[in-house]
A and B are shown apart, each in its own frame.
Chain A
Amino acid sequence: MTASQIIFLLVAIVTLGSALMVVASRNLVHAALWLVSTLFGVAIIYALLNAGFLAVVQVVVYIGAIATLFIFAVMLTRRDQLEGGVQLNSGWWLGALIAVLTFGGLFGMFQSWSGFSKTATDIPSGFDAVGQLGSALTSPVGFVLPFEVASVLLLAALVGAVYIAFNRK
């Protein structure tokens, strides 16, 4: 086993363990903090894959913005509304069944995929990943339309959020 495999396994165990704690934790703020741990684990996996830009974006967007949003949302509730109650509802076996089937299906599919036995080729030195991404987003033959559509999507998200908040007032 190589060093990077050991690091990957450790990170994967922490990520999955934290993900389990997100749903198992009774305290909502704890659940949010475990979620941060999960998302950070994913960022480390991106970094291990040499996807530096994605790793940093993962931290900026998910830990910087989404986790903060979650914690603010949790603080809108009151503690006495949260405590007690059962953690599982009557449909738990259905969820478990779907999870097992999805895992089994993916496992079966990946069994026949040859990509697992290959090692990734090294990125040539001096390869400017962010620059390539920038070229793809800006050049007329690249992804200009999706870039602009992303902006419209963000606008829609903002308008939707404001609309919901406005009506509640």
Chain B
Amino acid sequence: MNFWNDPLKIAADWLVSILTGWGMPAVAAGVLVAFLGTLLFISLLMVLDIFLVWLERKVVARFQDRLGPNRVGPFGLIQPFADIIKLMIKEDTTPAGADRVVYNIAPMLSMMSVLILWAIVPLAPVIFGVDLNVGLLYIVAAGAISTLSIIMAGWSSNNKFATIGAFRQVAVMVSFEIPMVAMLLIPTIFARTMGMNGIVQAQNIWYVILSPLGALIFLIAAIAELGRAPFDMAEGESELVSGYNIEYSGMKFGMFYAGELLHALTFGGFLAILFFGGYRFFGLEKVSPFLAVIILLGKALIGYWVIMWVKYTMMRIRIDHMLAFNWKFLTPLSFVLLMVTALMNALLRETSGWLYPISMFLSNVLVAWIALEIARSHSRRERAKVTGVKAVEVAPH
């Protein structure tokens, strides 16, 4: 086995042998090497994150028919570094009446909740942090920490806008977590494991073909979980000015902002791993682990681009509509889909050839069609109720 086939293990073994050669006990050397590896990996993620700032600004500019950053460096590539210097030398303010400790911990937790997600992302068959056997629940657990950081930021700022924004956002996040978790169960049923690497290995057919509706619901719930438009209740610039991070400035704001961008990329990656075959692409991943990493990052960036596309195309939805959409449509639909998937999977698992994928696909289409018909007739009835009456509703806080 040489370096190009299993780079992580070879490099780690080499470092451990050097350290033990210096007289360090083997366990301590192993922990130190793992620590250094994690530090290197997360530093690379932060560098990637810096370029995401540029990418996001460039893409939103194209969506809005602008040029975006183009002055500093070629294609404005040095712009994010200028931004970082600006964030660094800005004054670090804490508003009067803020709860100092909670206020300062919140941005750190927000960033951490995103970074820890990468511990379980399989970048290549042999390049991953940990292949946890409870990988999918770990994603939900990290989401819980992210929810907590938003509550802490909003509450400790001593600002009504921040508190209201945070509470709305948390209500949305916890609500959309239900369909998201239900959709995490669908790859689990197909792959018979909750480990991310196992799910990728089991995807001889991309799960988006077996469950297109599942992938769509996961995408919608993930966007809500990220707090991006059209579900960006936390920000709500036109009503809450900036929402939960309104009082933050300088690097602390930078942490929330960078965390949001990396979170979006991470969920693009999860969409790729769970439904689009992860690092697999027609056997190319077997050529080299480095190629597999490039494939996964490419798919993650496509997922990220779709999330941006939605963000810059859709309008913000009012909170009562959003929660009604979740609890009255998405949650029942996702549980029905889960039951249909489990049943079809048990009945057709043993059949060979194309019968299994085609019938799974068609059952998904059928469920989606029935759900949309029900929603359509419901909205007709709702509209009939308000015809003639000017519908004025007041959004309560």
Do the two chains touch directly in the complex (Cβ atoms below 8 Å apart)?
Answer: yes
- Residue contact B134 to A130, C-beta cutoff 8 Å: yes
- Residue contact A60 to B174, C-beta cutoff 8 Å: no
- Residue contact B174 to A130, C-beta cutoff 8 Å: no
Given known pairs A33-B152, A75-B167, A130-B194, the reply for A63 and B144 (CB within 8 Å) is yes
B interface with A by C-beta (< 8 Å): 27, 99, 102, 132-134, 137-138, 140-141, 143-145, 147-148, 151-152, 155, 167, 170, 174, 177, 193-194
Q: Is the contact region of chain A dominated by helix, strand, or loop, or is it mixed?
A: helix
Return chain B residues, CB-CB under 8 Å to A128. Answer: 133
- Residue contact A64 to B102, C-beta cutoff 8 Å: no
Return chain B residues, CB-CB under 8 Å to A57. Answer: 137
Return chain B residues, CB-CB under 8 Å to A60. Answer: 137, 140-141, 144
Task: Bin chain A's interface residue count.
Answer: 20 to 34
Query: Of A36, A53, A72, A129, which one neighbours B148 at CB under 8 angstroms?
Result: A36
Query: Of A33, A67, A72, A75, which one neighbours B102 at CB under 8 angstroms?
Result: A33
Min distance, Cβ A162 to any Cβ of chain B, angstroms: 13
Beyond the given A60-B141, A68-B174, please list 8 additional residue pairs across the A-B interface where CB-CB is below 8 A: A30-B102, A56-B141, A64-B140, A64-B174, A64-B177, A72-B170, A130-B133, A130-B134
- Residue contact B145 to A63, C-beta cutoff 8 Å: yes
Q: Which residue of chain B has the shortest Cβ distance to A64 in the bound complex?
A: B144
Q: Is the contact region of chain B dominated by helix, strand, or loop, or is it mixed?
A: helix
**Could you show 22 A-B contacts with beta carbons less than 8 Å apart?**
A29-B155, A30-B99, A36-B148, A52-B132, A52-B134, A53-B137, A56-B137, A56-B141, A59-B141, A60-B141, A60-B144, A63-B145, A64-B141, A64-B174, A65-B144, A67-B148, A68-B147, A71-B151, A71-B155, A75-B167, A129-B133, A130-B194
- Residue contact B143 to A64, C-beta cutoff 8 Å: yes
Min distance, Cβ A61 to any Cβ of chain B, angstroms: 9
Return chain A residues, CB-CB under 8 Å to B144. Answer: 59-60, 63-65
- Residue contact A56 to B134, C-beta cutoff 8 Å: yes
Return chain A residues, CB-CB under 8 Å to B170. Answer: 68, 72
Return chain A residues, CB-CB under 8 Å to B138. Answer: 56
Return chain B residues, CB-CB under 8 Å to A30. Answer: 99, 102
A3 within 8 A of B: yes
Q: Which residue of chain A has the shortest Cβ distance to B167 in the bound complex?
A: A75
Return chain A residues, CB-CB under 8 Å to B102. Answer: 30, 33
- Give bound CA distance, A60 to B136, whole Å: 11
Q: Which residue of chain B has the shortest Cβ distance to A40 in the bound complex?
A: B145
- Give bound CA distance, A129 to B140, whole Å: 19
- Give bound CA distance, A33 to B140, whole Å: 19
Interface flags, A105-133, vs B, CB<8A=1, else 0: 00000000000000000000000111100
Return chain B residues, CB-CB under 8 Å to A36. Answer: 148
Return chain A residues, CB-CB under 8 Å to B147. Answer: 64, 68
Of A3, A68, A72, the most chain B CB neighbours within 10 A belong to A68
- Give bound CA distance, A33 to B147, whole Å: 13
Return chain B residues, CB-CB under 8 Å to A59. Answer: 141, 144-145
Q: Which residue of chain B has the shortest Cβ distance to A69 in the bound complex?
A: B174
Q: Which residue of chain A has the shortest Cβ distance to B144 in the bound complex?
A: A64
Query: Of A3, A52, A130, which one neighbours B27 at CB under 8 angstroms?
Result: A3
Return chain B residues, CB-CB under 8 Å to A33. Answer: 102, 152
- Give bound CA distance, A56 to B133, whole Å: 11
Return chain A residues, CB-CB under 8 Å to B141. Answer: 56, 59-60, 63-64
Min distance, Cβ B152 to any Cβ of chain A, angstroms: 7
Of A56, A63, A65, the most chain B CB neighbours within 10 A belong to A56
Interface flags, A44-77, vs B, CB<8A=1, else 0: 0000000011001101100111011001100100
Min distance, Cβ B141 to any Cβ of chain A, angstroms: 4
